[in-house]
Amino acid sequence: MDATHVTQVTDVMEPLGGAEFAPRGTYLNTSTCALLPRRTVEAVALLCEEVAAGNPDGSGSFDTVDEARAAFARLTAVHPDRVAVGSSVSVHVGMIAQSMPAGAEILFPEGDFSSLITPFTVRGDLRTRFVPLERLAESVGPDTALVAFSSVQSADGRTVDFAAVRAAAAAHGARTLLDATQSAGWLPLRAGEWDYTVAGGYKFLLCPRGASFLTVTEEAQESLTAIHAGWVTGEELWANTYGPVRELARSARRFDEPPAFLSYHGAARSLALLEEIGIERIEAHNKALAARFRAGLVELGHAPVPDVSGVVGVPGLGDRLPDLRAADVLMSARAGNLRASFHLYNGPADVDRALEVLAG
């Protein structure tokens, strides 16, 4: 495809982050896993060397974990006391699922990500209901205890009217759980607008795998059971290493998992980079690249899933993944869709290269 055909679609920016990133090819696969910034790689390597030599703090620093906690809090407009750290979305969601009363109705969009759904379905005594994404808000009813959905659908990049879902949940007294894994890091998030948010760090937050974040409002905290509480969840961190923890942390730290220090030493550096660049700037950048890609696909005769998301699903093109990989263009295939996900280290040349390969 002639790249000049799409240059007027929107004013796209060159990659952000400068020397922090050095992809070998055309990397449009952040929805699977992000590229790590150079500073993050260096932080992880430094901790490895320190632990190998005998680090006086053991395997890592709780202060650095709290740096990451505070950075995530700033990025999502909540106080650090509302943020818990952990290892994965499914563990965070499992704690919420285990805290729901028997018989409670949990409402999901059809086809949402399994790590958000399965912790509820394995209970066996909860009522789970699935509706089309576009009908999520209107489907909240008086029996709904929790509405759980992803901010951006993993399979195809679709989004939903956040305000409408919040309003419907409030009208019926239902709590809300937002999985921001496919948006945190490029789409502004005010976590305090939701009872719970979860976000895996290894995608758009640019963190090493093993870092994830849970936010809990102060009100919702009272009905959440810290089912994996341990010594790190005590109000006084070093006062509860033997015997029962005398007092759980009064903040959302009571829901912490023991941190994977290598991941969090890297996460602190990654989140600092996102703060330096600014989420609003990244949002404009990613959406512009996605719009350029959608317009190019239409010119090629393909119909992408309509949305303004920075993640683009293209139905029926999942079988083109081998051709793209052979040309060193990395995307993913999900539910039959070809999925391209754009982030700060991408630029117009990446979009045009992908369109060129798809043009055959």
CA distance 172 to 195: 14
Q: Domain 3-36+279-358 belongs to what topology?
A: Aspartate Aminotransferase, domain 1 (3.90.1150)
Structure tokens at 198: 């979860």
Q: Which amino acid is at 39?
A: R
In whole angstroms, how far apart are CA 39 and each of 208, 255, 296, 309? 12, 29, 34, 28
Query: DSSP of 253-301, one letter per residue?
Result: GGGPPPP-HHHHHHHHHHHHHHHHH-HHHHHHHHHHHHHHHHHHHHHTT
Yes or no: say if 78 and 188 are a contact pair by the CB < 8 Å rule.
no
Strands 127-131 and 144-150: unpaired
Domain ranges across the chain: 3-36+279-358, 43-277
Nearest to 332 by CA among 204, 73, 191, 154: 154
Distance of CA 248 to the CA centre of its chain: 27
Q: Does domain 43-277 have CATH number 3.90.79.10?
A: no
CA distance 186 to 257: 26
Give the Cβ contact number of residue 132 at 10 Å. 10
The pLDDT tens digits along the chain (360 residues) read 333 333 334 456 799 988 999 999 999 999 999 999 999 999 999 999 999 999 887 899 999 999 999 999 999 999 999 999 999 999 999 999 999 999 999 999 999 999 999 999 999 999 999 999 999 999 999 999 999 999 999 999 999 999 999 999 999 999 999 999 999 999 999 999 999 999 999 999 999 999 999 999 999 999 999 999 999 999 998 888 899 999 999 999 999 999 999 999 999 999 999 999 999 999 999 999 999 999 999 999 999 999 999 999 999 999 999 999 999 999 999 999 999 999 999 999 999 999 999 998
Structure tokens at 351: 């979009």
CA distance 43 to 105: 44
Give the Cβ contact number of residue 188 at 10 Å. 14
| Rg, C-alpha atoms of the chain | 21
Structure tokens at 226: 């810290």
pLDDT computed for residue 174 by the predictor: 98
